[in-house]
Amino acid sequence: MTVPTVTLPLPDGSTAEMPMIGFGTWRTRGDEAYTATRAALDAGYRHIDTATMYDNEAEVGRALRDSGVPREDVFITTKLLSEDAGREKQALTGSLRKLGVQQVDLWLIHWPPGGLAAPEVWRELIGAQDHGFVRSIGVSNYSPEQIDELTDATGRPPVVDQVPWSPARHDAALLADLRARNVVVEGYGPIKRTPMSAPALLEIAARHGKTPAQVVLRWHLQHRIVIIPKSVRPERIAENIDLFGFALTDAEMQTLDKL
C-alpha cells in the first residue's frame, strides 16, 4: 500500500517525507500499546505518533524492532511534555532511549508551555535538530500567532502544527492561516470528534460502500490534512489505512465541511 506523503523542508535545504497516515497511540500503554503498534506496522502504517505524556514510547520502540520493519522506513513523532520546559535535553534523551532510536523524525512541543509560545523552549528544539537528534521540529496546539512568535524570535519556523481536526470543527480560515506559513496541518481526534451516526455521513458512507470512519479519514486526506487515527482493534487499524480506491466528490466534501 502506498500512502501519500507531505514534504517537510529541512534547514539545510533538503527535505523529508511525512506519510499522511500515521498511527495514533494516546491512551494505549503496556502490552496493549505493543500489540496495537505491531498490528499497525503489519497493516502498513509507516508513521507512528507517540509522546512522552503517553508513557508508551518503550512499547512503541519494542514493537518497531520486533516488527522487522527497517527503522528508516518508519516516521516516528514524539512530543515534549510542556512541563519539561527547562529540561528539554533530559526529556529528549529519555524519549530516544525508550524508543531505542538515535533520532526521531519529528519532535513537537505538546502544548504551549503555560499557554505561551515559549521561544526559549523552541530554541532547545532547534538545538536538538542542529545536533541531529531530531530530523524535523514542530508544535502542537499552537495558534498561527504563537507560531509567528517562534519564527520571529528564531528565524526557524515550525514545519508542523498538530491540532484537533474533524468535519465537525473544520476551520477553513485556520487551515489557510497555517498553510500561508508553510505549516503542515496534522489533525488529531478525527473519529472521536465526529458525530459518527450523522445521517449525512451515513449516507455518503453507504454510497461508497465504506464505513463512516473511512469517509471521515478520507475527507481529511482530500483536504491534505495528515491524520493519526488510533485504535487497539486490528480490524479497525486496517480499516483506518484502507482509504484508497475511492474519492469523495466536491459536493460530498462540502457536505462534510459543514457536518
Q: Does 229 participate in binding ligand NAP (rule CB under 6 A)? A: yes
| Residue 63 burial by Cβ neighbours in a 10 Å radius (0-12, 13-18, 19+) | buried
Stretch that binds ligand NAP, among 2-10, 150-158, 189-197, 200-208 (CB under 6 A): 189-197
Q: Exactly one of 45, 54, 142, 188 is catalytic; name it.
A: 54
Question: 122-128, long-range: CB within 8 Å, 24+ apart, which pairs?
Answer: 122/150, 122/153, 122/154, 122/156, 122/158, 123/153, 123/154, 124/88, 124/89, 125/80, 125/88, 126/154, 126/156, 128/88, 128/89, 128/92
Geometric angle at alpha carbon 24, from 186 and 213, rounded to 5°: 80
Q: Which of 58, 5, 54 minimizes the C-alpha distance to 26?
A: 54
Interacting positions 147-166 with ligand NAP (CB under 6 A): 162
58 makes contact with ligand NAP (CB under 6 A): no
54 carries an active-site annotation: yes
Q: Is 31 left (phi over 0), alpha (psi -120 to 50) or beta?
A: alpha
CA 76 to CA 107: how far, in whole Å? 9
**Residue 107: enclosing H or E segment and its boundaries?**
strand 104-109
Contact with ligand NAP (CB under 6 A): which of 6, 8, 24, 41? Answer: 24
Nearest distance in Å: CB 60, ligand NAP: 10
Using the contact rule CB under 6 A, the part of the chain among 128-136, 143-151, 183-191, 243-251 near ligand NAP is 183-191
255 binds ligand NAP (CB under 6 A): no
> Which CB, 34 or 188, lies closer to ligand NAP?
188
Which residue lies nearest ligand NAP, judged by its C-beta? 24
Question: What span, in angstroms and rounded, lies between the C-alpha atoms of 21 and 54?
Answer: 19
Report which residue type is found at 41: L
- Cα 65–Cα 67–Cα 73 angle in degrees, nearest 5: 80
CB closer to ligand NAP out of 131 and 192? 192
- Subset of 106-135 contacting ligand NAP (CB under 6 A): 110
Is residue 47 near ligand NAP by the rule CB under 6 A?
no
DSSP state of 131: T
Q: Shortest Cβ distance from residue 14 to ligand NAP (Å)?
A: 26
Contacting residue, 117, 213, 225, 226, with ligand NAP by CB under 6 A: 213
* 25 binding ligand NAP? (CB under 6 A): yes
Instruction: Show which residues are catalytic.
Output: 54
Site of interaction with ligand NAP (CB under 6 A): 24-26, 49, 110, 140-141, 162, 188-192, 211, 213, 228-233, 236, 239-240
